[in-house]
Amino acid sequence: MPYCQLYYHLVWATKERQPLLAGDREQVVFDFLRAKAIGLGGFVYALNGTEDHVHLVVSIPPRLAVSEFVGQVKGVASARFNKLGSHPLLYWQEEYGAFTFDGKRLPNVIDYVECQKEHHAIRTLIAVLERTDDQPVGFGRVREIPPAYTVDGRDEVWWREMMELE
């Protein structure tokens, strides 16, 4: 088994952003999402959201494509939930957002997800972490600036941080 340190922040919404994850429904759906993610070999660090979308911080095994993982987690959770006979039925939008980050930022991303309801209530959202497609988020289209990479010489801070990861 290869050694991998892959962290993802995943976000997806209910179909037509319907508020279907309110009250007791939320925990039932979250339990199905978590169980499937773990069943696929993922490690769930955080799972939360609002009544119309879900955020998941997870490590995905390298044998699975991100799209396969997300598709299975979403599909199984909604199918199991819908078999309970609850109405209205739960369906997801096809789109999702997937973001990678390093271990140093893992605590920050976990905190952001765990505080989702607060962030939405007081509008302290990080727009790029709320994206599920290429449509405008918040006040306008988000276009991330590509990171500046140092290729001429060694970035001493990065080098030191990487050496401390062991």
Asked if residue 78 is part of any domain, the answer here is yes
Asked if residue 2 is part of any domain, the answer here is no
Q: What is the pLDDT of residues 100-129, one digit of tens each?
A: 999 989 999 999 999 999 988 988 888 888
Q: Characterize 10-19 residue by residue with b for buried, 16 or more Cβ atoms within 10 angstroms of its Cβ, and e for exposed.
A: bbbbbeeeee
- The Cα–Cα gap between 52 and 103 comes to 28
Q: Is the pLDDT reported for residue 24 higher than 50? A: yes
Whichever domain contains 139, its CATH number is 3.30.70.1290
Q: What is the pLDDT of residues 128-161, one digit of tens each?
A: 888 888 665 554 444 555 555 555 555 677 667 7
Asked if residue 29 is part of any domain, the answer here is yes
pLDDT at 129: 85
What domain count does the chain have? 1
Q: What is the pLDDT of residues 73-106, one digit of tens each?
A: 999 999 999 999 988 999 999 999 999 999 989 9
- The Cα–Cα gap between 119 and 89 comes to 27
Asked if residue 83 is part of any domain, the answer here is yes
Asked if residue 61 is part of any domain, the answer here is yes
Lowest mean pLDDT among 23-27, 58-62, 147-151: 147-151
Asked if residue 1 is part of any domain, the answer here is no
- The Cα–Cα gap between 126 and 145 comes to 15
Which of the four pLDDT bands, split at 50, 70 and 90, describes residue 165? low
pLDDT at 158: 65
Q: C-alpha 96: how far from its chain's center? A: 9
pLDDT at 42: 96
Q: What is the pLDDT of residues 34-52, one digit of tens each?
A: 999 999 999 999 999 999 9
Domain of 86? 7-163
